[in-house]
């Protein structure tokens, strides 16, 4: 679906969001009581619908406050330039506030907790970050890792339909980010934008891309394998070994690597958010049974080959290693989990110590 121009789009999204949030607050008493009653009548003792209502209301409230804050920042910084260093710093602080606030909402409503292996690898120095994309809830994970934990500036390659989110739409356009469709072709203007996004990074910045382009399903995996086999038939056998994630689309990653020829490559994988790709899955998956296990791998640029085809092979092999880790972690969880085990409630700390038994 084509996204309308910014002015026309925001005439719809900003009033719509503010009105929906206000209505949500006003109807919360009867809706919350109804959700609670539905949970109890159907013996959903973990109060799934009750939690989901407050998750939706909390996220909408954060989005509405963030949208209002963008107006305040425009009034304050427009005279000196909305992309001036002072404005960029202020919008970065707003972005990090948004991430912290959304994580806090999810911690209190659906028991989101993180355990992170490799925090020390977030380090200094610019990097191209390749992150797993399993659900609607993991898009902000790199911003949490690098922006909140690592105190870094985070640049994103974002799907163009995310511009329907008014706070994200406005802040992302005022900071160095690029909106793209899922399948930029070689030589397209979008890839040129990605090249510039990486080229202009400083040592405190990272560029984040989700190489899969969308969530995993077996059908999408088969299509991704066929697409890769058309251009790289020598990689088809490797691509068919993927079980939990999609073979990566290399074009966007290559554009970022070309733009930052000395940047390290960081891979971010996670297990625990697989059941959040649709509303039906979300309703069955809350509250979370386990912490979300996050693992970070960092590869120095000197480890990468220099030829384009060899880089693509290297990316696919690293992505397959991530798939192997996910498979081992899921097997470990299945072996260790009591089917009746459910959390008593949200953790007070969104970052749990990394499990020493994790691979």
Give the helix/strand (H/E) hosting 159: strand 153-159
Is residue 35 a part of any domain in this protein?
yes
Query: Rounded to an integer, what distance in angstroms lies between the CA atom of residue 284 and that of residue 275?
Result: 8
pLDDT of residue 338: 56
Is residue 95 a part of any domain in this protein?
yes
Query: Rounded to an integer, what distance in angstroms lies between the CA atom of residue 119 and that of residue 283?
Result: 31
Is residue 359 a part of any domain in this protein?
no
- Give the domain range for residue 43: 6-352
- Give 198's Cβ-side CA count (13 Å radius): 26
String of DSSP letters for 292-338: EEEEEEEE-GGGS-SSHHHHHHHHHHHHHHHHHHHHHHHHHHHHH--
Q: What is the pTM of this model?
A: 0.89
Would you state the structure tokens that stand for residue 174, as one six-digit string? 């005022």
Which residues fall within 8 angstroms of residue 44, CB to CB, at 6 or more apart? 38
pLDDT of residue 186: 58
CA triple 95-101-102, angle to 5 deg: 90
CB 105 within 8 A of CB 59: yes
What is the DSSP secondary structure assignment for residue 121, as one 8-state letter? G
Three-state helix/strand/coil letters over 262-301: CCEEEEEEEECCCCCCCHHHHHHHCCCCCCEEEEEEEECH
Query: Alpha helix (H) ranges present in 42-79?
Result: 48-77
pLDDT of residue 342: 46
String of DSSP letters for 184-239: PPTT-HHHHHHHHHHHT--TTEEEEE-TT-S---HHHHHHHHHHHHHH-GGGHHHH
Is residue 134 a part of any domain in this protein?
yes
The dihedral over CA atoms of 69, 70, 76, 77, expressed in degrees to the nearest 10, equals 150
H helix and E strand count, the chain: 11, 8
pLDDT of residue 6: 87
Neighbouring-strand partners of residue 117? 295
CB atoms within 10 A of CB 232: 17
pLDDT of residue 235: 95
Is residue 90 a part of any domain in this protein?
yes
CA distances from 104 to 109, 140, 295 (A): 9, 13, 21
Is the N-terminal amide bond of 50 cis, ω within 30° of 0?
Answer: no
CA-based nearest residue to 238, from 325, 320, 322, 326: 320
CA-based nearest residue to 131, from 310, 253, 305, 276: 253
Residue 112's SS3 state is coil
Residues of the chain with pLDDT under 70: 1, 182-187, 338-359
pLDDT of residue 187: 59
What is the DSSP secondary structure assignment for residue 318, as one 8-state letter? H
Which residues fall within 8 angstroms of residue 149, CB to CB, at 6 or more apart? 116, 119, 122, 351
Is residue 357 a part of any domain in this protein?
no
Which residue in this structure is represented by tokens 């919360």? Answer: 28
User: How many domains in the chain?
Assistant: 1
pLDDT of residue 314: 97
CB atoms within 10 A of CB 324: 15
Is residue 27 a part of any domain in this protein?
yes
pLDDT of residue 12: 94
pLDDT of residue 260: 96
Give the helix/strand (H/E) hosting 161: none
Q: What is the pLDDT of residues 232-286, one digit of tens each?
A: 999 999 999 999 999 999 999 999 999 999 999 999 999 999 877 777 777 788 8
Is residue 1 a part of any domain in this protein?
no
């Amino acid at each position: 679906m084509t996204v309308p121009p910014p002015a026309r789009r925001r005439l719809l999204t900003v009033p719509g969001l503010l009105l929906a949030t206000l209505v949500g607050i006003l109807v919360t008493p009867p809706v919350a009581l109804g959700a609670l009653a539905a949970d109890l009548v159907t013996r959903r003792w973990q109060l799934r619908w009750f939690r989901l209502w407050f998750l939706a209301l909390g996220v909408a409230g954060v989005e509405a406050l963030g949208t209002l804050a963008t107006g305040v920042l425009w009034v304050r910084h427009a005279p000196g330039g909305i992309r001036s260093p002072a404005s960029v710093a202020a919008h970065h602080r707003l972005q990090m506030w948004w991430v912290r606030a959304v994580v806090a909402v999810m911690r209190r409503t659906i028991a989101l907790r993180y355990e992170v292996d490799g925090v020390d690898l977030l380090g200094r120095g610019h990097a191209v970050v390749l992150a797993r994309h399993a659900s609607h809830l993991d898009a902000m994970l790199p911003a949490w890792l690098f922006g909140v934990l690592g105190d870094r500036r985070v640049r994103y390659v974002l799907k163009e339909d995310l511009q329907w989110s008014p706070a994200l739409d406005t802040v992302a356009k005022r900071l160095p980010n690029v909106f793209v469709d899922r399948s930029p072709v070689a030589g397209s203007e979008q890839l040129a934008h990605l090249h510039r996004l990486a080229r202009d990074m400083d040592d405190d910045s990272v560029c984040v891309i989700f190489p899969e382009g969308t969530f995993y399903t077996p059908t999408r995996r088969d299509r991704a394998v066929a697409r890769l086999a058309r251009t790289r038939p020598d990689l088809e056998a490797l691509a068919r070994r993927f079980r939990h994630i999609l073979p990566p689309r290399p074009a966007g990653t290559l554009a970022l690597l070309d733009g930052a020829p000395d940047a390290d490559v960081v891979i971010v994988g996670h297990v625990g958010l697989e059941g959040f790709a649709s509303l039906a899955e979300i309703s069955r998956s809350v509250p979370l049974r386990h912490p979300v296990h996050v693992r970070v791998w960092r590869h120095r640029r000197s480890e990468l080959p220099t030829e384009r085809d060899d880089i693509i092979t290297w990316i696919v092999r690293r992505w397959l290693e991530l798939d192997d880790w996910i498979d081992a972690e899921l097997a470990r969880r299945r072996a260790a989990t009591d089917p009746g085990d459910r959390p008593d409630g949200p953790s007070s700390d969104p970052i749990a110590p990394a499990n020493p038994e994790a691979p």
